[in-house]
């Protein structure tokens, strides 16, 4: 078993990982950061979305060794100094979650969406950009509302 | 209404941990020294297990044990059960086959477990699992429910000739037949209610931990009802005495019914943990979930509706074949019988109803309750018949409904259910206004100008939920009572814990239950915790499903609060040196009537535990009261959904361009949460109607076995929803709550398909109405059967 090192949520970390250890397993089992979730095995559901060097990636679809030496941001790293990120606040304020399982991936995707597409996101854009995230609870109505509000609040 | 009381859109207390990634789902939990388990599953739909050779696998790196169905049987672990006894027309009991947690004699569906490997890591368990040599004798398989009873079909279980589990019926056959004979018009439909895979985004998981020091077992499990799981696993499977088994359902990522049932995996994890004397951890892959989570729906129905010359419905009859899959899952027998046929009156005063249901085995994954459980199937039959009938008779579909709505209550239907209160005209009228039905004609012309076909469909649904009065369901064959429990534990400092037998897996109970208590006791909502999901902490509860946690779970809390208030008044009486009968309680304050002598909630709570003002002979110290509440009736949420679609004639693609939902849920505790439930339910109903098709090939292979092939609704497949309510309070519980969790999934499929068939001009379009299906229908569109 070899070791893989990277920076996660601003901290240098090292953990065991063999050649087939997925990044999501490294985070969940190696680092016990269980906020990133696994909901499928074909890279569709988006529950595993994290940011790698500032861009959204699906942590279930890459190996841990591919992130060697890189910067990873997970849901646990969004809130700063005990203050929630505006996108997190927006999800709570707009009832953008029910069971919470898809939520970390949704929020990470949403933040990346704003980084790429700006602060004024219309319904159509948000819905298309959510192609890689599946929710079974909310019907997306309030997720779309949350993201639009969070996008504005991030400005 | 206070800012945090009943009716307020209070932001959820539980959200903090979910939005920060601090939720504790079953797979997030780890135990020191844990092992990982991998299930070896049959790749064949139907096969005898001749021999299992695990010698090579057992020697592989990290392997702790390889176990089979024979080992399970040798340890005398009991079978899984279906807990609802349904009899056939001839009085014979349902043909329930043996369902061992690991197949021993033969595998009956692709995915049926035949062996398990326990190892130090999951990777090692999987590697060894692939080296377990299973010698199968492949048998012919049958996946189609209509074919399962045929003479050529392979026999799946010896106990069930013709693969028939039961042949059940409900209603008055003679009277219904007579009504059809004298009908002015008869509408006929052949309907398939398509099989669905529930797909909660959190896969099922189990972590079992045997403690040899106390000879007790702990199970963390993705369960909607941990106490029921504990009872079944202890008493029926015989795993351990009930008091030596603790079941914890921590944060659970969605259930929709699929996490009600007691599955092989948690049973095997418990057994394995005791055998290897180490914790055993399992988490389902998504592909594994497709092969093991109970599927939903899967009915084939021929249905007919009789009308008189004025368009009044005089009778309904339906013959249904219900596919229950390879084994009878925990509640499976009840779904196509007492949760289905009893709703065939819909919102209408139909005087004669007769329904026959044959339940069959096939070599497919077991089928059981899935959001709506029987009521979506019933609503689909009724609402498609009414809409088709309206078109055939040239009557406006809304008018035909209004002519037939039940208008006086209580109303006894011919199919057991007695509706207590409702106003179906009110929800229809409000929905029509919100949907701007008047403007539909113009919108249709505008669509046509753009080369698109526009259609509009109604679904005026009703359901029975708030499951359920124990005596009623007991008389119908249920093996359990369906009451609910609550304990209100007041702390000396005045904060309150609610121990509820309900379970939240997305419904927001930590907030809504606290809203109830905050309003009743006049204390801040931050001072209230809701505790659920742990059989060590919480008294026996029946769990959450069937839209029951508001109507039944919250009423149990009310009953407990009544007792708390009564005792607190006694304490206050001692404190204020007054007669108990003179104490009034309002807004968190106890007052002596007609005076300004008062005591605050916090002081009374403290006094209850300090007990200096009274002796134990006069009044026991402490302030903690429990209640078990058994509902006196089902509740009957009902409403009107209107769907508008636009169809591209070149591709057959249907886009939902508008959705209006007006529902009567009685009292609404938190409108934000209730709307969220409606949104989610509609999404699942739309999924059934447009996207989700579970496909088995003729050999019983599940073709749609992952998200690559099974079309889960994405955000850009769905519109935003217009949601509103009308209110007729439920008369059978003190809060007036009817419940809301399943309504969207019950109403939606009929609304979508009524809209699509309206646009295309033919009734014969199957769900899911994929672009290919709609396009084919467009090519073949036949003129409608004219009214006689």
ipTM of the complex model: 0.99
H/E stretch holding B462 reads strand B452-462
A-chain CB neighbours of B716 within 8 Å are 124, 127-128, 130-131
Domain membership of residue A101 (yes or no) is: yes
Instruction: Say whether domain B35-139+204-283 belongs to CATH 3.90.1170.50.
Output: yes
Q: Which among B287, B715, B721, B745 is the top mutation candidate for probing chain A, defined by the most A β-carbons within 10 Å of its own β-carbon?
A: B715
Min CA distance, A98 vs chain B (Å)? 4
**Cis peptide, bond prior to residue A6, ω within 30 of zero:** no
**CA-closest candidate to residue B432, choices B754, B646, B661:** B661
Q: What pLDDT does residue B319 have?
A: 98
Q: What are the chain A neighbours of B679 within 8 Å (beta carbons)?
A: 138-142
CATH code of residue A147: 1.10.150.120
Q: Which of B19, B28, B200 shows the shortest C-beta gap to A103?
A: B19
The answer to whether position A59 is within a domain reads yes
| Pair (A70, A110) in one structural domain | no
Residue in chain A nearest B17 by alpha carbon: A100
In this structure, is residue A49 part of a structural domain? Answer: yes
In-domain check, residue A80: no
- What phi and psi values does residue B246 have, to the nearest 5 degrees? -110, 130
pLDDT band at A1 (very low <50, low <70, confident <90, very high): confident
Q: Is the pLDDT of residue B788 over 80?
A: no
Using a CB-CB cut-off of 8 Å, the residues of chain B touching A142 are 675-676, 679
Count contacts between A and B (CB, < 8 Å).
Answer: 181
Which residues does chain B have within 8 Å of residue A127's beta carbon, measured at their own beta carbons?
Answer: 714-716, 718
The alpha carbon of B45 is separated from its chain's Cα centroid by a whole number of angstroms, namely 27
Residue from the list B19, B286, B718 with its beta carbon closest to the beta carbon of A107: B19
Last residue in a domain, options A20, A52, A75: A75
Last residue within a domain, chosen from A75, A101, A132: A75
A6 and A53, same domain (yes or no)? yes
Alpha helices (H) in B232-336, listed in sequence order: 264-276, 286-292
- pLDDT score for B782: 52
Mutate to test the interface with A, among B13, B20, B122, B721 (most CBs of A within 10 A): B20
End-to-end CA distance of chain A: 45
CB nearest B679 (choices: A78, A101, A138): A138
d(CA B50, CA B574): 76
* 3-state DSSP assignment of residue B487: strand
pLDDT digits (tens, 9 = 90+) for B687-743: 999 999 999 999 999 999 999 999 999 999 999 999 999 999 999 999 999 999 999
Specify whether A56 is located in the same domain as A93. no
Domain B299-405+414-468+633-780: state its class.
alpha beta
Residue B605's Cβ-side half-sphere holds a number of Cα atoms within 13 Å equal to: 19
- Model confidence at B1: pLDDT above 90: no
Within 8 A of B371 by CB-CB distance, chain A residues are none
Residue A27: inside a domain: yes
Same domain, A95 and A62: no
Beta bridge partners of A52: A55, A72
**Same domain, residue pair A19 and A70:** yes
Residue of chain A whose alpha carbon sits nearest to that of B716: A127
Are A58 and A96 members of one domain?
A: no
Residue B310 pLDDT class (50, 70, 90 cuts): very high
Count: domains in chain A:
2
CATH 3.30.365.10 domain range(s) in chain B: 299-405+414-468+633-780, 483-629
Question: Could you tell me how many residues make up chain B?
Answer: 788
Question: Is the same domain home to A90 and A132?
Answer: yes
A99 and B505 in contact by Cβ < 8 A?
yes
A70 within a domain of the structure (yes/no): yes
Determine the Cα angle at B688 with ends B684 and B689, to 5°. 115
Using a CB-CB distance cutoff of 8 angstroms, which residues of chain B are in contact with residue A18?
123
Name the minimum distance, in Å, from the CA of A69 to any CA of chain B. 24
Shortest distance between the Cα of B416 and any Cα of chain A, in A, equals 32
Domain that holds residue A140: 86-153
Q: CB B202 to CB A101 under 8 A?
A: yes
Asked, for residue A81, whether it belongs to a domain, the answer is: no
The nearest CA of chain B is from the CA of A58 a distance in Å of 15
Q: What is the pLDDT of residue B786?
A: 40
Average pLDDT (B612-626) is 94
User: What is the chain B residue with the closest CA to A35?
Assistant: B21
Q: Are residues A121 and A142 in the same domain?
A: yes
- Cβ-defined contacts of B127-131 (< 8 Å, 24+): B127/B60, B127/B61, B128/B38, B128/B57, B128/B58, B128/B60, B128/B62, B128/B63, B128/B66, B129/B38, B129/B39, B129/B40, B129/B57, B131/B56, B131/B57, B131/B60
Cβ(B267)–Cβ(B36) below 8 Å = no
pLDDT band at B681 (very low <50, low <70, confident <90, very high): very high
Residues B261 and B268: their CA atoms lie apart, in Å, by 15
Q: What is the pLDDT of residues B407-443, one digit of tens each?
A: 999 999 999 999 999 999 999 999 999 999 999 999 9
Residues of chain B with Cβ-Cβ distance to A76 below 8 Å are 20-22
The per-residue pLDDT for B616 is 87
Helix (H, G, I), strand (E, B), or coil: what is residue B149?
Answer: coil
Pick from A23, A41, A75: which residue ends a domain?
A75
Residues of chain B with CATH 3.90.1170.50: 35-139+204-283
- Spell out which residues of chain A touch residue B705, defining contact as CB-CB under 8 Å: none
What number is the average pLDDT over the span A92-106? Answer: 98
Can you give the CATH number for the domain in which A57 is found?
3.10.20.30
Q: Is the pTM of this model over 0.95?
A: yes
Domain shared by A98 and A50, yes or no: no
Looking at the structure, tell me whether residues A62 and A102 fall in a common domain.
no
Q: Which two tokens stand for residue B698?
A: 């003729």
- Minimal C-alpha gap between B64 and chain A (Å): 19
* A9 and A68 co-located in one domain: yes
For residue B388, the Cα-to-chain-centroid distance in whole angstroms is 29
Residue B784, judged by CB atoms within 10 A of its CB (0-12, 13-18, 19+), counts as middle
pLDDT (mean) for B243-251 = 98
pLDDT band at B563 (very low <50, low <70, confident <90, very high): very high
- CATH top-level class of B483-629: alpha beta
> Both A28 and A68 in a single domain?
yes
């Amino acid at each position: 078993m070899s070791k893989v090192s990277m920076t996660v949520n601003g901290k240098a970390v090292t953990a065991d990982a063999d050649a087939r250890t997925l990044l999501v397993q490294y985070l969940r089992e190696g680092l016990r950061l269980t906020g990133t979730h696994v909901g499928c095995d074909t890279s569709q559901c988006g529950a595993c979305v994290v940011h790698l060097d500032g861009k959204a990636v699906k942590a279930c679809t890459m190996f841990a060794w591919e992130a060697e030496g890189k910067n990873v941001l997970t849901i646990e790293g969004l809130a700063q100094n005990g203050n929630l990120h505006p996108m997190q606040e927006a999800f709570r304020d707009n009832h953008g979650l029910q069971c919470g399982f898809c939520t970390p991936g949704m929020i990470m995707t949403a933040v990346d969406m704003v980084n790429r597409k700006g602060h004024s996101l219309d319904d159509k854009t948000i819905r298309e950009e959510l192609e890689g995230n599946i929710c079974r609870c909310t019907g997306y109505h309030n997720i779309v509302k949350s993201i639009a509000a969070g996008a504005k609040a991030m400005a | 209404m206070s800012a945090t009381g009943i009716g307020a859109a209070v932001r959820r207390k539980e959200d903090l941990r979910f939005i920060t990634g601090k939720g504790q789902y079953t797979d997030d939990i780890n135990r020191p020294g844990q092992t990982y388990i991998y299930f070896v599953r049959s790749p064949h739909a139907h096969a005898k297990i001749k021999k299992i050779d695990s010698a090579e696998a057992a020697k592989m790196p990290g392997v702790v044990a390889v176990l089979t169905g024979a080992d399970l049987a040798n340890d005398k672990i009991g079978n899984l059960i279906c807990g609802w006894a349904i009899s056939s027309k001839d009085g014979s009991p349902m043909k329930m086959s043996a369902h061992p947690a690991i197949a021993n004699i033969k595998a009956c569906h692709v995915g049926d477990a035949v062996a398990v490997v326990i190892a130090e890591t999951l990777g090692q368990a999987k590697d060894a699992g692939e080296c377990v040599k299973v010698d199968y004798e492949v048998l012919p398989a049958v996946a189609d429910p209509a074919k399962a009873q045929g003479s050529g079909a392979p026999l799946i279980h010896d106990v069930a000739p013709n693969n028939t589990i039961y042949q059940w019926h409900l209603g008055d056959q003679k009277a219904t037949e007579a009504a059809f004979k004298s009908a002015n018009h008869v509408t006929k439909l052949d309907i398939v209610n398509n099989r669905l895979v529930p797909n909660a985004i959190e896969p099922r998981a189990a972590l079992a931990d045997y403690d040899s020091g106390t000879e007790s077992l702990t199970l963390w499990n993705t369960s909607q009802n941990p106490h029921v799981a504990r009872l079944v696993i202890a008493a029926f499977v015989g795993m351990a005495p009930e008091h030596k088994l603790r079941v914890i359902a921590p944060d659970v990522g969605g259930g929709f019914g699929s996490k009600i049932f007691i599955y092989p995996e948690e049973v095997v994890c418990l057994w394995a943990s005791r055998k290897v004397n180490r914790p055993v951890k399992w988490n389902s892959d998504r592909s594994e979930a497709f092969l093991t989570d109970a599927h939903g729906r899967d009915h084939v129905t021929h249905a007919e509706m009789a009308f008189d010359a004025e368009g009044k419905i005089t009778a309904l009859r339906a013959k249904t074949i219900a596919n229950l899959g390879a084994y009878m899952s925990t509640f499976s027998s009840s779904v196509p019988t007492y949760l289905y046929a009893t709703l065939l009156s819909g919102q209408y005063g139909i005087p004669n109803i007769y329904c026959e249901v044959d339940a069959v085995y096939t070599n497919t994954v077991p089928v059981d309750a899935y959001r709506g459980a029987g009521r979506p199937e019933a609503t689909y039959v009724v609402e498609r018949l009414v809409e088709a009938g309206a078109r055939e008779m040239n009557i406006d579909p809304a008018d035909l409904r209004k002519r037939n709505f039940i208008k006086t209550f209580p109303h006894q239907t011919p199919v057991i259910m007695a509706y207590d209160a409702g106003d179906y005209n009110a929800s229809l009228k409000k929905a029509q206004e919100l949907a701007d039905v008047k403007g539909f004609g113009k919108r249709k012309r505008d669509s046509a100008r753009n080369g698109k076909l526009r259609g509009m469909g109604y679904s005026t649904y009703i359901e029975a939920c708030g499951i359920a009065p124990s005596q009623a369901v007991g008389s119908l064959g249920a093996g359990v009572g369906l009451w609910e429990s609550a304990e209100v534990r007041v702390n000396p400092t005045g904060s309150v814990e609610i121990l509820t037998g309900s379970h939240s897996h997305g419904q927001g109970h930590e907030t809504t239950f606290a809203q109830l208590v905050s309003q009743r006791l006049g204390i801040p909502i931050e001072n209230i915790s809701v505790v659920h999901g742990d059989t060590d902490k919480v008294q026996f509860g029946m769990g959450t499903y069937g839209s029951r946690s508001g109507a039944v779970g919250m009423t149990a809390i009310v009953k407990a609060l009544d007792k708390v208030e009564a005792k607190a008044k006694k304490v206050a009486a001692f404190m204020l040196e007054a007669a108990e009968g003179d104490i009034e309680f309002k807004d968190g304050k106890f007052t002596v009537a007609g005076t300004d002598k008062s005591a605050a909630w916090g002081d009374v709570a403290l006094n209850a535990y300090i007990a200096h003002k009274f002796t134990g002979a006069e009044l026991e110290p402490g302030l903690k009261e429990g209640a078990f509440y058994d509902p006196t009736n089902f509740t009957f949420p009902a409403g009107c959904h209107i769907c508008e679609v636009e169809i591209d004639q070149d591709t057959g693609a249907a886009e939902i361009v508008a959705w209006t939902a007006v529902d009567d849920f009685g009292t609404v505790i938190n409108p934000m949460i209730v709307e969220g439930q409606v949104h989610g339910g509609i999404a699942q109903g739309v999924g059934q109607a447009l996207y989700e098709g579970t496909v088995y090939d003729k050999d019983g292979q599940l073709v749609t076995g992952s998200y690559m092939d099974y079309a889960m609704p994405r955000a850009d497949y769905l519109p935003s929803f217009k949601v509103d309510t009308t209110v007729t309070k439920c008369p059978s519980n003190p809060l007036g709550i009817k419940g809301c969790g399943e309504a969207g999934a019950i109403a939606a499929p009929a609304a979508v398909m009524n809209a699509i068939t309206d646009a295309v001009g033919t009734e014969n379009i199957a769900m899911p109405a994929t672009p290919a299906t709609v396009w084919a229908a467009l090519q073949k569109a036949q003129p409608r059967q004219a009214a006689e």
